[in-house]
Structure 1
Amino acid sequence: MVTLEIDAVCYYRLENASLLLTTLTSISSAIQLLVQTTTKRLLAHRAFSELLLERKSISQEIKVIAAEGEKAASESLRMAAEILSSAPAAAQLRYLHALHSLTAEKPPAFILPLPLDAMNLVSPATQSPPAVSSLLTATTKLPESPENKKDSPML
């Protein structure tokens, strides 16, 4: 038996930060464990010489597994968006659950909850994607501000 040390770099992107924060306690350790188990699963049944000869095909297998994970994650996010858009009460409950989870953190965080209707006041430049904007029911427009208006009332 040969002990093998592998150096790897893992890049990840947060798709839904609030869901991630409410479901995982330690993001970095969860990602580390996922990478370790995937790597062990790919390399466990191969001989050392086989590993050296098939590095490119193993790399391709890892990319395929990553793509399958992306697909599964995006499909579950799509289904969650459909469920939340069909039931406004579910969106409100999800919002309250996220607030509750954030307040249970240690050290305690300062949280300023906004009503869900406040999301309608977001400007078009910073508006959320269609899946999220379908959760919002009312369409409220902000009053037009004059172009010469300064940020501070003192200016």
Structure 2
Amino acid sequence: MESQSQQQDSPVYANYEDMRNSGPTSSTAYMINMGPGAVATEQPQQRKRSGLNQQYRGFKTSENEPRGCMEWLVTILSVLVFIITSPISIFICFKVVAEYERAIIFRLGRLSGGARGPGMFFILPCIDEYRKVDLRTVTFNVPQQEMLTKDSVTVTVDAVVYYRISDPLYAVIQVEDYSLSTRLLAATTLRNIVGTRNLSELLTEREILAHHMQATLDEATEPWGVMVERVEIKDVSLPVSMQRAMAAEAEAARDARAKVIAAEGEKKSATALKEASDVISSSPSALQLRYLQTLSSISAEKNSTIVFPLPMELLTPYLAKYAQLMPPPSTLPPVPEKSDAELINAAAAWPKTNL
């Protein structure tokens, strides 16, 4: 307990106390270098970051370096000004940050402790300045990027990026404008990822590409204290000519599949009809039963006309009986043949009518 209280009272530990308690979703593990008994504190439910995390922890600042005589003099004068002008100076020197904000204080240009907030904090007049950092999730649209895919197809892609500040101290000290830097990096990363993928992969594997882009951005922005939470690819636009070509290709593929399916159906139906005809030919009564079944199906539809197929086998005895009464073809009288001259004279003698 004593060692723990000594660690909490140490100035280095106090610098990072506010950042360590920045929230249950913080993804940063703060390393406090305190000799052989170094302590690493980490919030629960945090997401594991890359191995570069330890490399940027504990970067050197000038807050614990000894101050010069001029700095001490200016600090004393600032305190005297605060005392003389109080209670008016109280309204100027006390600041408040909201629950979702943190404040980084600089005293004479040097870092003065870690991130402060939420709540009220105190600054000295004339020598202290502070910067607020918003810890809420920020959403921005990546501008539409027109680029070539791996198979040389021009596409236009846009995405949405969600990020938040996981370390306010790094967001202020390590980068000039973390918001602008993250936006430019997102646009560049999107172009790089799309350029290494084919068009089919870009259209069918959006989720995989989004996760890849999110991991790449998160690793690059970690030294800035920025954590990229989510990346979504909104739309992939193709040229009109490419859309028509893909539509024609898909239509041709569907037509080919339809013809193949129809041909297979015809083949199966022909095989089934052949088997049925073999069964019917083996039993003459089966054909009559089929006729009766057809008649029942026709009559069920309330048709006014019923076509009744009459088997030729029923007419065979009657045809044989009347064939005996007919004379043979050789006994019929011959038809007289006329010559061409007789046909011409008959046509000339035909009466003519006035039309």
What TM-score does the superposition give when structure 1 sets the normalisation length? 0.40
Whose helix proportion is higher, 1 or 2?
1
What TM-score does the superposition give when structure 2 sets the normalisation length? 0.19
Whose strand proportion is higher, 1 or 2?
2
Look at both structures and tell me which one has the larger radius of gyration over its CA atoms: 2
Q: Whose relative contact order is higher, 1 or 2, with alpha carbons under 8 Å and at least 6 apart?
A: 1
